[in-house]
Structure 1
Amino acid sequence: MRAVILDLDDTLFDDTACTHAGLRAVAHAHGLSVDPAELFARHAAHIRAIDPLLFRGELTAHGARVRRFTGLLTELGVPDADGEAATVTYREAYREHWQLLPGAADVLRDLRAAGLRLAVLTNYVREVQGQKLAHFGLDALVDAVLCVEDVPAAKPDPRAYHAACAALNVTPAQAVMVGDSWEKDVQGARRAGLRAVWVSRLATPAPDAGVPVVSRLPDLPAALGVQVLTRG
């Protein structure tokens, strides 16, 4: 192993917590009484429907948000849904709650200190993901950042992982992909010839017993077989 490639959202950055915060703010602003899990699921469905337009360059990140909140509020019965205003409300709350998953920066430092090359490979646009990485200084801890615009196709297409390997000057057999999505970060990577570690915050057993699972980032070096210096 010479390199580790990591997903960003819900692997290093707590996107789920930020999204819940943004949706709570939108629901409060519109007087909506919706179960948080249902609201999260409905919002995620709109993201899945609209993201292809964003990735093809037909919408900006802001335009994609306006469209999804217009659709989401309309679906929830809000009259004259104002997607622009909802987007502002959502983004303010989302940004206010920005946070890394515990241990994210330390793990990157430990892996670098062990001599490994590091990349972030994310299925979202640089306009958004670059801000997150820079805000927390993670961009300075990795050798490459590949967003959806930087690869021939998004994960789980093999070309995404191969592009990350090329950026790190390693072969797929020399790299490990780490992420929270079983399909996009584990299965896709393994089909592309990489090894993988699944980040499962609920400690859910892996569908394939051959894949290491970590529920917290400080356990990642051990799962990779990397020894790190004891802190403190």
Structure 2
Amino acid sequence: MPIPSAIRAVFFDAVGTLIHPTPSAPEVYAHVAARFGLVLSAAEIRTRFLAAFRAEEAVDRAANWVTSEGREEARWRRIVAETLPGVRDAEACFRELYEHYARPDAWVVDPTAASVFAELRSRGLILGLASNYDHRLEAVVEGHAELRTLRPHVVISSRVGHRKPSPDFFAEVVGAVGMSPGEALLVGDDFENDYLGARAVGMGAVLLDPNNRNPEVGDRIRTLPELAQEMAH
């Protein structure tokens, strides 16, 4: 998987690439739901959550991926409502879950991230973060030393008005470093939003595929350290 020599900046997706919820989202939802009078298994919650999440993705697709802080809160409100039907005090339940994911301790950073960042920077590369998220990610970034090093170049969908895979989102990404698309690379775990979205605008793209879900993709890695190894070639 050769990395183009023209690459001068590397952006990373956040959720699923650099950060992971801990405990898992279904476990957190199950725990909170039980306190609000609804008992569901983590497995059932996962099924309902994925269906609700996909429905909101379809809404955003129909809207050409336009977003805002208000839209992001509304989409999560609907996801929680569909995932946890019948809880007592639905607003309080939603608010607790929504605020939970603004807490740095709700997330664990990939333990190899700091060394990968250091290796890439040693080669003169500029690093950044490019995420479909909202203002809550800023608090998460502040709470993790590894992520704080990316602060000069953080692009969040709710802040720029478009979500991946919109070309407008990726225009903001390359604009953040003042480069052409061919000089920037995105590393992410989502085949459509990250990999295809970046490639569609002429950016480099690497798919993080730890579970080998997309073996047909040539530009993919199983772990983050593989990226540093490939960029050494």
Shorter-chain TM range is 0.7 to 0.9
Structure-2 separation of matches of 1:160 and 1:92: 25
* Distance change >3 Å, CA 31–CA 129, structure 1 → 2: same
Q: Measure how far apart 1:110 and its partner are.
A: 2.0
Match of 2:223 in 1: 216
Higher relative contact order (CA 8 A, sep 6+): 2
Which of 89, 111, 116 is residue 107 of structure 1 equivalent to? 116
1:131 pairs with 2:143? no
Alignment-derived partner of residue 209 in structure 2? 200
Number of equivalent positions: 217
Match of 1:173, SS?
helix
Q: What is the DSSP-based 3-state SS (H/G/I as helix, E as strand, rest coil) of the residue aligned with 1:14?
A: strand
Equivalent residue letter for 1:119: G
Say if 2:83 is the partner of 1:72. Answer: yes
User: Is the contact between residue 121 and residue 147 of structure 1 (CA under 8 Å) also seen in structure 2?
Assistant: yes
Q: Check conservation: 1:6, 1:121, Cα contact below 8 A.
A: yes
8 Å Cα contact 1:118/1:168 also seen in 2: no
Deviation at 1:174, TM superposition (A): 1.3
**TM-score of the superposition, structure 1-length normalised?**
0.79
Equivalent residues in 2 for 1:146-185, closer than 5 Å: 146-151=155-160, 153-185=162-194
Please name the residue that 1:87 is paired with. Answer: 94
The one-character-per-residue Cα deviations of 1:21-61 (angstroms, maximum 9, x if unpaired) are 32231344335243x34412312333454575993454573
For the aligned residue pairs, the C-alpha RMSD in angstroms reads 2.9
Structure 1 residues 116 and 143: CA distance shift in structure 2, 3 A: farther
Q: Identity over the aligned pairs, expressed in percent? A: 28
Match of 2:200 in 1: 191
- The residue number in structure 2 matching 1:3 is 9
Amino acid at match of 1:169: G
Q: Is the 8 A contact 1:4 1:119 kept in 2?
A: yes
Q: Structure 1 pair 6/37, CA: closer, same or farther in 2 (3 Å)?
A: same
1:8 maps to amino acid: A
**1:154 Cα offset (Å):** 1.6
SS of residue in 2 equivalent to 1:133: helix
2: CA distance between counterparts of 1:39 and 1:161? 32
1:153-185 superposed Cα distances (whole Å, 9 cap, x missing partner)? 221112222221121122111111100000011
Question: In structure 2, do the counterparts of structure 1 residues 69 and 145 end up closer, same or farther at CA, with 3 Å as the change threshold?
Answer: same
- Give 5+ residue unaligned stretches, structure 1: 228-232
User: Could you tell me whether the CA contact under 8 Å between 1:118 and 1:144 is conserved in 2?
Assistant: yes
What does residue 230 of structure 1 align with?
Answer: none
User: Contact conserved, 2:13 with 2:187, CA < 8 A, in 1?
Assistant: yes
Contact kept? 1:6, 1:120, Cα under 8 Å: yes
Q: Which residue of 1 aligns with 2:32?
A: 26
On the 8 A contact 1:161/1:192 being kept in 2, the answer is yes
- Tell me, which stretches of 5 or more residues in structure 2 are unaligned? 1-6
Q: Which residue of 1 aligns with 2:4?
A: none
Q: Match for residue 3 of structure 2? A: none
Partner Cα separation in structure 2 for residue 59 and residue 154 of structure 1: 11
Contact 2:9–2:185 (8 Å) recurs in 1: yes
Alignment partner, residue 67 of structure 2: 55
